[in-house]
Amino acid sequence: MAADQAGDVERMGFQLALRRRGISDQAVLRAMDEVPREYFVAPGFTDSAYADQALPIACGQTISQPYVVGYMTEQLEVAPTHRVLEIGTGSGYQAAVLSRIAREVVSIERYRTLADVARERLKTLGYSNVTILAGDGFLGAPQLAPFDRIIVTAAAEEIPEALIEQLGAGGKLVLPLGPRNGTQYIVKLTKAADGTLTREDLIAVRFVPLLPGQAREL
């Protein structure tokens, strides 16, 4: 089988697996089909790019498994007019998926190496509506707030107050929440016009921890 044919079969299987696990939002499925995941994994893992598993990247971080990316994106309920803040750029894959749906994506990464590589990768792939910032995810991006949607791609033990403040009225925040060595859940918060938060606890997950500050090295 030719390489391009094998790639087509792999992508079809990727989409089928997402649908079988319950991802049904057509905009999310289309975005994940459009973004070439093989460009976001480490060189030694390209053969596993479309497998439903988390994979290691630089700085001890990971690229989340496709199902979790699809699930969190679906729960975020992104519309084409939305501005989205992502905490934890990593390889840039989640930001790339969001960029296919949202008007604008701002992503913060504590490791400058990851931020620089992701920024160049997204530029090369033509994702011009993503801004990558190196900084402290706990602080968010107050200078660019408010945001319609906020997604956190590392597990926090408590919900960062700054992110709640930067979420606009009617906005939604999706993040993994729980202790580093304990049970973590995807949590979805919806902010009412009066600032009241409604919380939903969703599926159990396992993420790398959300750490404060910007990394001094890497």
pLDDT tens digit string along 59-105?
999 999 999 999 999 999 999 999 999 999 999 999 999 999 999 99
Residue-wise pLDDT tens digits, 181-209: 888 999 999 999 999 999 999 999 999 88
Marked catalytic residue, from 24, 64, 99, 107: 64
Look up the pTM and report it.
Answer: 0.93
Give the residue-averaged pLDDT of 154-162.
Answer: 95
Work out the end-to-end distance of the chain between its first and last CA atoms, rounded to an integer number of angstroms.
41
- DSSP annotation string for 99-125: HTTSSEEEEEES-HHHHHHHHHHHHHT
Residue 64 bears catalytic tag? yes
Q: What is the pLDDT of residue 1?
A: 41
pLDDT of residue 216 exceeding 90, the answer is no
Q: How far apart are CA 70 and CA 90, in angstroms?
A: 16
